[in-house]
Amino acid sequence: MRRLDLTSAGFLLLEKRETPMHVGGINLFTLPRGVNEQKFLEDLAEQLRSATEFRQPFGDYVVTGKTGLYWEKDEHIDMDYHVRHSALPAPGRYRELFSLASRLHTTLLDRTRPLWELHIIEGLQGRQFAVYNKIHHAAIDGMGAMHITRAMCSESPRDKTGYAPFSLEAYEVYKRQRFGAKKKRTPRPTERNLRNVLEALKSQYDSSMHLATAMRRFGLAFVGRSGNLAVPWHNVPRTSINTRVSGARRFVAQTFEFDRVKRVCAALDATVNDIVLAICAGALRRYLLARDELPLHSLKAMAPVSLREEGDLESTNAVGFITADMATNVYDPEKRLRTIQESMRAGKDLLRELSPAEAALFMQLTQLPALVTSILGLGSKFPAFSTVVSNVPGPRKPLYWSGARLDGIYPASIVFDGFAMNITLVSYHDQLDFGIVACRRSMPQIQRIIDHLEDALAELEQIAGIGSAAERKNISARRKAKPRTKSAGQKTTALKAKKKATTRPAKSPAKKAATAKARPKATPKTKAKGKQ
């Protein structure tokens, strides 16, 4: 048996019927030319079921021991239970696919079995099929999921992998291809043992000092003495997002061209993550304005950061977080971006002096209150964050699975009591794939966030001076039609600002063609790929 680390065990302790703690999403593929769809998908299903040895912990289930939770090997894995084959009802649109994914993401994983499922989904239009995967967060984080996607696929459409992605064989092949065969370290000479002990003691002392400094800065933020550092619970406003959640989920997704974001980055001197956060902030501001509930205090987002060291394929969870001030109470989009940048810079400075091990311990210490409030059922009364915005770096080259082209990676993550929506995106090749999960009861109109994301990106393009003249003119007119919402130095009342700002002009025909209000959909570029 192997003991679970505190972070992984925390996801199991937080889980209940209303808050499933699994992650996953939809991988969208186009069938190779000339193949029979039914035969091809049946072969893939058999390939997935063929695994007999698994990389850790995909062959294990969770047991409770005297001192904690442990992984125990499952000697009798039922692969027909873990690998399933489904079909969409006609007409096989993305709407039906996302509806199925919403239902699949609602149900809990069976803890008496290894904590994962794979669903091959046929019936999509345009010779596409999908794979929905569901893995408990105790077993994997975002970067770990990307390693599995790379191990499952190849950069050549001619390569045929004969193993399942969770198999031990896939893990060993991928490790050799990516990191090579590393020689085992030879034991250090005996005469250096004393020096090693002294270095270990110094390292432990340094870690204690680093952690004490980080905790001090973290605490001072609550009394406004840590500059631009944003921290959980401090001035987190209450909105319809910050409520108790039910067990039902709603999943929507969309693809945006990566080049659009990169052009804005270059024009506004910002990182991709800065622009992504600004896009999400603009979308959230629009969503709350439309509901007449934009708060005076800015929303705060948990922005996960990877603590995984290069070459680390073993860790189940090597992730921390930075609290991002989303500046949703700031009308001007460029000023909003700069506020986000300052808070992210302060958060990175807090972690910069810490080693990965120190940062992991710091995260565990600062997340303990969230664990306690969730277990006590107080998460919605004392929300640590407004939402989650997670940016996961994905493969930079197009990938293929046994010849089937990977068209998109749409992540589906988790929501808690206190924040009923999670925005996660993956950068894949030349696109950004957004997956949004929300509590179906608390946020029934979550699909509107897709349109708001497009509007927010277009607004940033407008202030950056890029995009067509017609688009810039349309965005400028819409911005002038919306009065400023009250922030720290403004004299208008919040009530007047909200009432005026709820009026939204109609979209132009060009804008209607660019976005779909009825439902989320994949980009036209994705459809074009399927035609080859």
What's at 107, amino acid-wise?
Answer: T
The per-residue pLDDT for 302 is 86
How far apart, in whole angstroms, are the C-alpha atoms of residue 504 and residue 289? 10
Query: In this structure, are residues 385 and 232 in contact, taking their beta carbons and an 8 Å threshold?
Result: yes
Buried b / exposed e along 344-358 (16+ C-beta atoms within 10 A): bebbeebbeebebeb
From 137, 297, 429, 452, active-site residue:
137
pLDDT recorded at residue 454: 97
What tokens does 114 get?
């290894």
Instruction: With CA atoms as reference, report the closest residue to 363 among 375, 350, 381, 378.
Output: 350
* Nearest CA-CA partner of 325 in 278, 364, 288, 272: 278
Mean pLDDT lowest among 13-22, 128-137, 165-174, 226-235: 226-235
Give mean pLDDT, residues 501-505: 42
Q: What is the mean pLDDT of the chain?
A: 80
What is the arithmetic mean of pLDDT over 203-207? 42
Query: Can you name the residues that pair with 489 across neighbouring β-strands?
Result: none
Residue-range domains of the chain with CATH: 2-179 (3.30.559.10), 210-397+410-531 (3.30.559.30)
Pairing of the two strands 319-325 and 300-306: antiparallel
Name the band, by pLDDT with cuts 50, 70 and 90, for residue 450.
very high
| CB-count burial class (<10 Å; 0-12, 13-18, 19+) for 220 | middle
Other C-beta atoms closer than 10 Å to the C-beta of 42 total 14
Token pair of 305, please?
Answer: 């950061």
Flag whether pLDDT at 125 surpasses 90: yes
137 in active site:
yes
pLDDT, tens digit, 9 for 90 and up, residues 294-332: 999 999 998 888 777 777 788 887 777 888 899 999 999
Does a cis peptide bond (omega within 30 degrees of 0) precede residue 505?
Answer: no
Q: What is the pLDDT of residue 379?
A: 61
Decide: pTM greater than 0.85. no
Structure tokens given for 312: 């680390």
Most confidently predicted of 194-198, 211-215, 351-355, 371-375 = 351-355
Q: What is the pLDDT of residues 62-95, one digit of tens each?
A: 999 888 899 999 999 999 999 999 999 989 999 9
pLDDT digit string (tens) for 362-397?
A: 666 666 556 666 666 666 677 778 899 999 999 999
Task: Give the residue with greater pLDDT, 368 vs 503.
Answer: 368
Mean pLDDT for 493-498 is 40
Rounded Cα–Cα distance for residues 8 and 69 (Å): 9
Residue type, 257: E
Q: pLDDT digits over 241-267, tens only?
A: 988 899 999 999 999 999 999 999 999
The pLDDT score that the predictor gives to residue 282 is 97
In which residue are the tokens 């709350």 written? 288
Is pLDDT at 530 greater than 90 in this prediction? no
Q: Rounded to whole angstroms, what are the CA distances from 211 to 8, 100, 225, 319, 353? A: 21, 45, 18, 17, 9
**Exposure on the CB side of residue 8, measured as CA atoms within 13 A:** 21
